[in-house]
Homo-oligomer: A and B are copies of this chain.
Amino acid sequence: MFKINENYMKLPGSYLFSTIAKKVNAYAGANPDKEIIRLGIGDVTLPLAPSVVSALHSAVDEMADASTFKGYAPDLGYEFLRNTIVENDYAPRNCGIKADEIFISDGAKSDSGNIVDIFGDGNIIAVTDPVYPVYVDTNAMSGRTGVYNQETEMWSDVVYMPCIKENNFTPEFPEKTPDIIYLCLPNNPTGTTLPKSELQKWVDYANENGSVIIFDAAYEAYITSEDVPHSIFECEGAKTCAMEIRSFSKNAGFTGTRLGFTVIPHELKCGDIELHSLWARRHGTKFNGAPYIIQKAGEAVYSEAGKKETLDQVKYYMNNAKIIREGLIKAGYEVFGGVDAPYIWMKTPDKMTSWEFFDYLLNEKNIVGTPGSGFGPSGEGYFRLTAFGSLENTERAIKRITE
């Protein structure tokens, strides 16, 4: 008899956002007259930028003509896109990243989930707590997280680094040295981040301890503070200890269009083995590239017009963040994030649990947010709101919450 991967059975409940979607659908079904405002899942609402739309149309036309039709893409992605990424994201910041160190993919979620493939059993992973649940869940699926404790909501073999208001959301070096360190900065869900001097300490720590940092920079476009690095490769020595995952979802509205990339420098090695070669092998064997037309859309994001248009989108969302942040503060809530990230992280009122506050907001205010505890045990008692709604809905939601 065939055997399933028993690690899947250890996973608690379903994926956070699937659970939320089910709850919201149930409420909406039972209350068809209620108008629900969704500030829960980090999904954008603005349409694709004109430059991106134009590039898509033009690429579709290429696909319609035998002389310009494109079949299988190059394993690691089209050079036009990889070169543009280097020129715009890395060269100006003197990161020393080369085009052949960029792997184009169908999104940061796929990459941050699939990356577990190239690591061996027995690696100890460390995560900031709370954090995007994909890191822990995918390691659990690989049997790398030990036993789940229903009460503490913690895995026995995961190193949790609490990021709470008491430590200003700054992770401390853990007692047990981890092999793989996930850093998501600006952080999802807390919306907080680290200045370069703090991130440099983590790079030094990883190099000293033989750890690898998986740096998720999906929200880098939202950074406004001067001293916050946009890439981990701005730090000295990062190329020997870090890889970086990037997304087009939040800077250019590609949540339903799907494009991302991972940067793995050749210098990142385990002994003599480049992680680059392992990831290249995985890409070549289990993936067949992002669609040509989507890669062309990605290139357009970096055109002069595309940069301006997508920056305007980011500003639009950050204006929402300001409205949420200031509205909640004015109403007496304790609020974090929302300055270098599109997420606002708030303490739940009246010592409500995160899910109690979720139910309260959904049932009483018809607003969907995300329970902080869904991002890890230290998220309990917090709640995430996103700035990705429309201006109108954001204003109405804050009015509903605060009145």
Contacts and interface: CB of A to CB of B under 8 A. Distances in A.
Interface of A: 1-6, 8-9, 11, 14-15, 17-18, 41, 43-48, 50, 53, 56-57, 60-61, 63-66, 69-73, 75, 106-107, 109-110, 113-114, 117-123, 134, 137-138, 141, 179-180, 210-212, 253, 255-258, 270, 273, 275, 278, 281-282, 284-294, 390
B44 A71 contact: yes
Copies of this chain in its oligomeric complex:
2
A15 B60 contact: no
A61 B117 CA distance: 37
9 contacts: A2-B270, A3-B120, A3-B179, A41-B72, A44-B71, A53-B63, A106-B287, A113-B286, A113-B287
B72 A48 contact: no
A15 B76 CA distance: 13
Contact of A53 (B64, B180, B278): B64
A286 B114 contact: yes
Nearest to A50: B64
B57 A134 contact: no
B65 A47 contact: yes
A281 B48 contact: no
A256 B73 contact: yes
Nearest to A258: B291
Given A8-B281, A258-B291, 8 more contacts: A2-B123, A2-B211, A3-B121, A4-B118, A72-B256, A106-B288, A109-B286, A257-B291
A2 B207 CA distance: 11
Pick the 10 closest A-B CB pairs, nearest first. Answer: A113-B286, A1-B210, A3-B120, A2-B179, A43-B71, A15-B284, A70-B256, A71-B255, A53-B64, A47-B69
A56 B60 CA distance: 7
Contacts of A6: 120
B43 A72 contact: yes
A109 B2 contact: no
Contact of A180 (B2, B57, B60, B210): B2
A53 B4 CA distance: 41
A2 B269 CA distance: 10
Contacts of A41: 72
Nearest to A41: B72
A364 B122 CA distance: 51
A278 B210 CA distance: 34
A63 B48 CA distance: 6
Contact of A66 (B2, B11, B47, B107): B47
Contacts of A71: 43-45, 253, 255-256
A5 B48 contact: no
Contact of A256 (B57, B123, B291): B291
Contacts of A107: 288
A285 B118 contact: no
A113 B270 CA distance: 25
A135 to B, nearest CB: 10
A223 to B, nearest CB: 22
A37 to B, nearest CB: 15
Contacts of A3: 119-123, 179, 270
B286 A110 contact: yes
Contact of A270 (B1, B11, B284): B1
